[in-house]
Amino acid sequence: MSGSKPDILWSPHHPDRYVICDSELGLYRIGPVGGTETKPGTLPLSEETAATLLAINSDTPYMKCVAWYPKHEPECLLAVGQANGRVVLTSLGQSHNSTCKELVGKEFVPKHARQCNTLAWNPVDNNLLAAGLDKHRADFSVLIWDISSKFAPETSVAAEKIRISTVDLDSSMVVTKPLYELGQNDACLSLCWLFRDPKLLLAGMHRNLAIFDLRNTSQKMFVNTKAIQGVTVDPHFHDRVASFFEGQVAIWDLRKFEKPVLTLTEQSKPLTKVAWCPTRTGLLATLTRDSNVIRLYDMQHTPTPIGDETEPTIIERSVQPCESQIGSFAWHPSSQNRMVVVSATNRVMTDFTVFERISLAWSSTTSLMWACGRHLYDCAEDSAEGAESTVEKDIATKMRERAQSRYGHDTLQVWRNHLLAGGNDPQLKSLWYDLSYILYVSHMKQCAEDMELKLQGNKQSLVYSGIKNIIRTSSGTTESRRCWIGSDRQTDVPRFSSEERCLALRLCGWISRGPDIDVETFLRSLEQEREWERAAAIALFNLDIRRAIQILNKGATMEKGDLNLNVVAMALSGYTDEKSSLWREMCSSLRLQLKNPYLCIMFAFLTSEPGAYDGVLYESSVAVRDRVAFACMFLSDAQLPHYIDKLTNEMKEAGNLEGILLTGLTKDGVDLMESFVDRTGDVQTASFCTLKGSPGEVLKDPRVQCWIENYRNLLDAWRFWHKRAEFDILRGKLDPSSKPLAQVFVSCNFCGKSISYSCSAMPHQGRGFSQYGVSGSPTKSKVTSCPGCRKPLPRCALCLMNMGTPVSSCSGPGKSDEKVDLTRENKLSQFNNWFTWCHNCRHGGHAGHMLSWFRDHTECPVSACTCKCMQLDTTGNLVPADSS
């Protein structure tokens, strides 16, 4: 059998031994590579493993097929099928066992010689060995031998035996009478015993697959097919069988044997081996001729809620265990996904483990899971709360937490939303303060109570449009030079003021009301928040150097105060406007070493020339609102719009939410928000922000709609259905166009009219219920008949009462305004009384009854209806994650 393809068999009991059979049998032991020195005779199989040749057996020429005896003892007994149909038992290595001696050398000879194609040991009754032979006109092709049978010479046959064969055999070792003979006048190309019953033998015959039952050999079950080679039963799914023909693999289900349940994509070259992985369900490996890859088919049944006939999903891929062409391969019986591959020539072996596909799932709550082989990995975000975690939380986690804390929903104290967001994001803080100022100011104007602001109605929109637009319309700017407060020294710093600049300062939060620039309230609030440096800087910019020093002093003396502030105060007190003083020189150079940006800009302001405040204006760590307020005070009409434009573009590019102050909630603001969302992915803030105050045109922007929809989807994905409903309500208030129309109507079976619609439209409803015998007090009564045609409404399948809506709170026509305010008490009907029905079987009843029924049942409550209503509803069994 030289030149024929090699094959590999793993020992059924020793996980480290296998046999290679080509022209001879070679037994190998596989083990780890032993240190640095390699023993002579070991063959490296992979980086970690090597094989040692233990024994060679070349006693059996004309080998066609080999099968390993499945019993523990004798452990190394092999059945070899030969080209002339004889089956010989042989062994590898030494075994002094007496049963082994009895068996080794035993021959099983068919009546008519022809090639033995396949051998299969019975997995339960280990004495039975099935041999599949080629066709003979007068003989059987499936012979089942009993290896324990003693040779019982039949007289007639014995006489003829003398002539048979050329090889002189000890006749006691030759068995000529098989236990069973099956498949007359046919050829058998492949065989396997079925796991589901050890009396069943599946055989790939000439043009059909046949299942022989040893209990009744005259009957067989068969199916005509071409795919008759290499039949093999899935070890994990005993009804699943694979067989092949040329390049095509057919998968059969023995329970539905008429045709293959599926056929795999055809290969261009003929297949040589097909094998199920014994350690992994549904994994089939195939090998074609002249190929250096093994194709793997991963067949997994995906469960579907509805028991439809669905084909299993098959994932096909190839692995290349070695460079050379593969002669054969064999899965390791116990080691996961491992196989040994032997090359087509030169018997080069490779130990190879198929790397399992990784399946990965990302949950909506930011935990990531992946599975590889039998391992499941969970990657959750570090939930070290409070402590300064080195890694910033993922935006999805943040949004989820914020959604839970009702972020965005504080419509009265808008600025508080930044606290709901966690209160540690300066940009969000700035944003919500901006929004609260904008809303406050616009509210003021809308109420027109603030008579001091005699702005025309057409200027109202300016507030929304941000400082950038407010400044652009600025006119009537006055310039003034003022003294340092508390000193009569004239400053040479010109200060500008106008109505618009004043409004801008308000939006910046520096002043609260009135034309006078009085920052004292603001300074006090800053002191409360212990923002000493900022307060000092603002005091200084208002030319109150004394107040600034006082603030710094206060800051230094407070508990846990920074004593360095005193030093700064000292430095500040030495201010001189002398251009060439040492103070000025030192301050302008040393100020850069100050860590606090506000301290830094204080000195920048004091040491800069009037009108050239770049040190202040472009200090990026200073809050935008302070810089803008500063600019509004000290930049001329020529400089100011230029600076604001520049800053706006900077903010837009960076997606810095502080820039909302400049852009307002306009198109510019949406642009800015877009780059913010691009940078952070925070659609939550974007949704709430754009909803909050922006006029209709902004809400119509497709980007805005996209954020809102995405945020709603996120809430759905988190099962925050109540939160989503709240959001939708809020959205409906702010953007009435987003309110969905009623989508579901309950219509009467008889007249087809919507029962709720006609309920409110019907003028004489009183007669409606009294006529149909709804007794008791009117407050408890319900409309249990169609208000249109007066026919009764359907009955609940459980309580058998007619369904209906309580009439008591059913407001009469014309009072529809009240319906807007649907608080819990005012609802027309409790959810438990709602109409529900299955879209499949059309049975239904009160929602509460149905829910409680399906808590314990799967089938419809209507007798004789087998509809599994609840299972049809894929989301029906989910519970909201925000049970509020």
Partner 1 sequence: MELHILEHSLKVASIEKEGIQICTHGLMKLAFLASKTRCKFFSLTETPEDYTIIVDEEGFKELPQSDLISVADATWLALNVVSGGGNASSSQPIGVTKIAKSVIAPLADHNISVFMLSTYQTDFILVRERDLPMVMHTLSSEFTLLRVVNGETVAAHDLGVTNGFVKPKLVPRPIIHPLSSPSNMFCVTSLDPDTLPSVATLLMDVMFYSGGSKELGTSSEDSSHIRFFSFSLIEGYISLVMDEQTAQRFPNNVLFTSASGELWKMVRIGGQPLGFDECGIVAQISEPLATADIPAYYISTFKFDHALVRERTNINVIIPKIQQFLDECVSCFQTRS
Residue 218 touching partner 1 (CB under 8 A): yes
- Quickly count: other Cβ atoms within 10 Å of residue 379's Cβ: 11
Q: Smallest gap, in angstroms, from Cβ of residue 119 to partner 1?
A: 16
Three-state DSSP state, 531: coil
The verdict on whether omega for the bond into residue 15 sits within 30 degrees of 0, i.e. cis, is: no
Residue 151 touching partner 1 (CB under 8 A): no
| Contacts of residue 638, Cβ cutoff 8 Å, sequence gap at least 6 | none
Count residues binding partner 1 (CB under 8 A): 45
Tell me whether residue 245 or residue 720 sits nearer to partner 1 (CB atom).
Answer: 245
- Considering only residues 854 to 873 of the shown chain, the ones binding partner 1 according to CB under 8 A are none
Read off the DSSP letter of residue 431: H
Tell me whether residue 224 or residue 490 sits nearer to partner 1 (CB atom).
Answer: 224
Residue 787 touching partner 1 (CB under 8 A): no
d(CA 412, CA 410): 6
Residue 155 touching partner 1 (CB under 8 A): no
Residue 336 touching partner 1 (CB under 8 A): no
Angle (nearest 5°) at CA 684 between 680 and 688: 125
Q: Which of 22, 107, 186, 234 binds partner 1 (CB under 8 A)?
A: 186
d(CA 121, CA 143): 12
Residue that the structure tokens 């094998």 belong to: 275
Residue 663 touching partner 1 (CB under 8 A): no
Residue 85 touching partner 1 (CB under 8 A): yes
Q: Smallest gap, in angstroms, from Cβ of residue 125 to partner 1?
A: 19
d(CA 718, CA 728): 16
Residue 269 touching partner 1 (CB under 8 A): no
Phi-psi region of 422 (alpha: psi -120 to 50; beta: other; left: phi over 0): left
Residue 161 touching partner 1 (CB under 8 A): yes
- Quickly count: other Cβ atoms within 10 Å of residue 845's Cβ: 23
Residue 219 touching partner 1 (CB under 8 A): yes
Instruction: For residue 676, give both structure tokens.
Output: 């913010």
Q: Which of 81, 132, 183, 282 binds partner 1 (CB under 8 A)?
A: 183
- Considering only residues 512 to 541 of the shown chain, the ones binding partner 1 according to CB under 8 A are none
Residue 179 touching partner 1 (CB under 8 A): no
Q: Smallest gap, in angstroms, from Cβ of residue 201 to partner 1?
A: 12
User: How many angstroms from the chain centroid is the CA of residue 3?
Assistant: 52
Q: Which of 76, 113, 264, 340 binds partner 1 (CB under 8 A)?
A: 113
Q: Smallest gap, in angstroms, from Cβ of residue 175 to partner 1?
A: 11
d(CA 70, CA 198): 14
Residue 384 touching partner 1 (CB under 8 A): no
Binding mask 469-508 for partner 1 (x = CB under 8 A): ----------------------------------------
Residue 583 touching partner 1 (CB under 8 A): no
Q: Smallest gap, in angstroms, from Cβ of residue 212 to partner 1?
A: 8
Is the CB of residue 286 less than 8 Å from the CB of residue 326?
A: no
Angle (nearest 5°) at CA 229 between 227 and 233: 95
d(CA 193, CA 232): 9
The partner residues of 479 in beta bridges, in order of sequence, read 496
Task: Give the sheet arrangement for strand 188-193, strand by strand.
Answer: 188-193, 200-205, 208-213, 220-224
Angle (nearest 5°) at CA 182 between 176 and 185: 95
Tell me whether residue 86 or residue 712 sits nearer to partner 1 (CB atom).
Answer: 86
Binding mask 221-240 for partner 1 (x = CB under 8 A): -x-xxx--------------
Q: Smallest gap, in angstroms, from Cβ of residue 165 to partner 1?
A: 8
Q: Which of 53, 124, 164, 360 binds partner 1 (CB under 8 A)?
A: 164
Binding mask 34-73 for partner 1 (x = CB under 8 A): ----------------------------x-----------
Q: Which of 38, 148, 172, 185 binds partner 1 (CB under 8 A)?
A: 185
How far CA 155 is from CA of 18, 152, 751, in Å, comes to 42, 9, 95
Report DSSP letters for 120-174, one per residue. EE-SSSTTEEEEEE---TTSEEEEEEETTPPP---HHHHHHHHHH-SS---GGGE
Binding site for partner 1 (CB under 8 A): 1, 4, 62, 83-85, 109-115, 134-138, 140, 157, 160-161, 163-164, 166-167, 176, 181-187, 207-208, 217-220, 222, 224-226, 245
